[in-house]
Structure 1
Amino acid sequence: MSISTPGGPERRPTVVSTGKKPAAGRPAAADKPAAKAGSGKAGGGKGTPRQGAGGKGRKPVAPVKVSQGRSWGPIALFVAVGVLAVGIIGVGAWAVYQGGQPWQKRAEAIDGIVDYRAKDKDLVKGGNHQPGAIKYDILPPVGGPHNQAWQNCMGDVYDAPIANEHAVHSLEHGTVWITYRPDLPADQVEKLRTKVQGKEKTMLSPFEGLDKPISLQAWGYQLKVDNADDGRIDDFIKTLRVNASIEGPNALCDQGVTATGTTPRDNLQNNMPQQPTQ
């Protein structure tokens, strides 16, 4: 619309924007609303993702790996099993080695054992039968002259002292004779009993005047210990029982004297069975 003024040129009316879109047609550029902050669009770029917080185009954060160190439990277990296996193999090898040694060598290896065979060869000649009471320099005796009758040694447990003269004859037959002080505690005596009772060529009896609580004798050998739990007792029995005999493994242990008392029974000499030859 144009307005004419008298005497002047025609003027176009001034258009004032109200901020409202026209009812029809495309709005003028000046009427476009400003871009919203945080809409993800940069000022002149179309569709460029924002890198700020909350943008859809944010790169994922890689997880931080935390080192937990080595697992020492399984390692320690493996080492322990290995050490145990080596120990078992070592003990087995030593046992095989020891078992292959002559019994005399095994006897020498027992700590504290006294080998009277090496000290006095005449002491262990054997076959030296004498009647009556015999004086022994070593007590309990381990050899020397003895009564013709032997003490029964089929795993016999005597609750009173027995005659040395009969006991020494049993040693000559390969017996291990275990003696103990009469005041040894009952539980210790019981442990000794279990090592002897019913086992051929062993016997047990109290003995007066021992300088150690327990003393073990075989033909020509002796071992003294302080208690029945000492592992050397089993070593002594295993090594010297039968082996120490100078009459062979067939020497008798039954049909001997079963009575207690320290006086030898000479009246039994002629009634003893004949020893088998080797």
Structure 2
Amino acid sequence: MSISTPGGPERRPTVVSTGKKPAAGRPAAADKPAGGKAGAGKGPARQTGGKGRKPVTPVKVSQGRAWGPIALFVAVGVLAVGIIGVGAWAVYQGSQPWQKRADAINGIVDFRKKDKNLVKGGNHQPGTIKYDVSPPVAGPHNQAWQNCMGDVYDAPIANEHAVHSLEHGTVWITYRPDLPADQVAKLKAKVQGKEKLMLSPYEGLDKPISLQAWGFQLKVDNADDGRIDEFIKTLRVNASIEGPTALCDQGVTATGTTPRDNLPNNMPEQPTQ
């Protein structure tokens, strides 16, 4: 800037240099932002107190299938189906005529099909009778029957009386005299005190145990054979040709293989059907 004075030439102001240069890299004071430090205002404002923080998405952990409960459920289902099936089969079997159920017993021999004359019944004869089947299952017999109210005989009984009991619907279980005591005890438990059943030892059996009903026979090796119960269930009373009311009491209670012909003739008798 020039300064003019009255009446004189224009003079330029003298510039005095201090000899100092601005520090390298430092901006001039005018270049500094006002009201803040260098770097202030850069980037987003810092949040405090957790406000405004982006919510964290929970991490899902993948779990395998619970095979234990599934396996248990399947097992229970299979068991239930099995029980229902067995029950249905039992009902079906029970609804079958007893003759068909008898035919289904493995090993049973039906003499009714072999000899119809053998099972006619009502053929009373005195004295000793020869039987083709041992133990006998039908045919002529003594007028007196063997008591069959769940009687357990510890010695052989007469065939002639026993066959008459079969005609009344009895199941007669026989066994070899040398059958082990525990086996005999099991047979005794099936018979004792139950009407239309009787048990006795029998000489000369070709199997340890033989079961007889009127016209039927089954031979087994031991008292644990399930067919014994099936034979009893199917043929007791049902095999009678004199009906379910045929007597089992008031019969012969003595043992011995010789028939008793000297018994009173007034023993009650049932008419043959």
Q: CA deviation at 1:14?
A: 4.8
Aligned to 2:119: 124
TM-score by length of 2: 0.81
Q: Secondary structure of 1:123's match?
A: helix
Aligned to 1:4: none
Aligned to 1:93: 88
| Distance in 2, Cα, partners of 1:68 & 1:134 | 83
CA contact (8 A) 2:173 2:211 kept: yes
Which residue of the other structure, out of 74, 77, 81, is the alignment partner of 1:79? 74
Aligned to 1:175: 170
Which residue of the other structure, out of 197, 201, 206, is the alignment partner of 1:206? 201
Q: CA deviation at 1:65?
A: 4.0
Q: Which amino acid aligns with 1:45?
A: K
CA contact (8 A) 2:171 2:236 kept: yes
Aligned to 2:42: 45
Aligned to 1:164: 159
Q: Which amino acid aligns with 2:42?
A: G
What whole-Å deviation, never above 9, does each CA across 1:205-248 have from its counterpart, x for those lacking one? 11111111111000000011111111111111111111111111
Aligned to 1:67: 62
Q: Which amino acid aligns with 1:69?
A: G
CA contact (8 A) 1:148 1:269 kept: no
Aligned to 1:249: 244
Q: Secondary structure of 1:236's match?
A: helix
Q: CA deviation at 1:58?
A: 9.7
CA contact (8 A) 1:106 1:239 kept: yes
Q: CA deviation at 1:253?
A: 0.6
- Asked if residue 262 in structure 1 is aligned to residue 257 in structure 2, the reply is yes
CA contact (8 A) 1:154 1:200 kept: yes
| Distance in 2, Cα, partners of 1:144 & 1:227 | 28
- Among all aligned residue pairs of Structure 1 and Structure 2, give the percentage whose two residues are the same amino acid: 82
| Distance in 2, Cα, partners of 1:217 & 1:101 | 21
CA contact (8 A) 2:186 2:223 kept: yes
Q: Which moved more, 1:264-273 or 1:245-254?
A: 264-273
Aligned to 1:111: 106
**Aligned residue pairs: how many?**
251
CA contact (8 A) 1:201 1:253 kept: yes
CA contact (8 A) 2:156 2:257 kept: yes
Q: CA deviation at 1:75?
A: 1.6
| Distance in 2, Cα, partners of 1:191 & 1:46 | 98
Q: Secondary structure of 1:178's match?
A: strand
| Distance in 2, Cα, partners of 1:218 & 1:274 | 19
CA contact (8 A) 1:250 1:276 kept: no
The answer for unaligned runs of 5 or more in structure 1 is: 1-8, 19-25, 36-40, 50-56
**Distance change >3 Å, CA 203–CA 27, structure 1 → 2:** same
Which residue of the other structure, out of 234, 237, 254, is the alignment partner of 2:229? 234
Q: Secondary structure of 2:265's match?
A: helix
CA contact (8 A) 2:122 2:272 kept: no
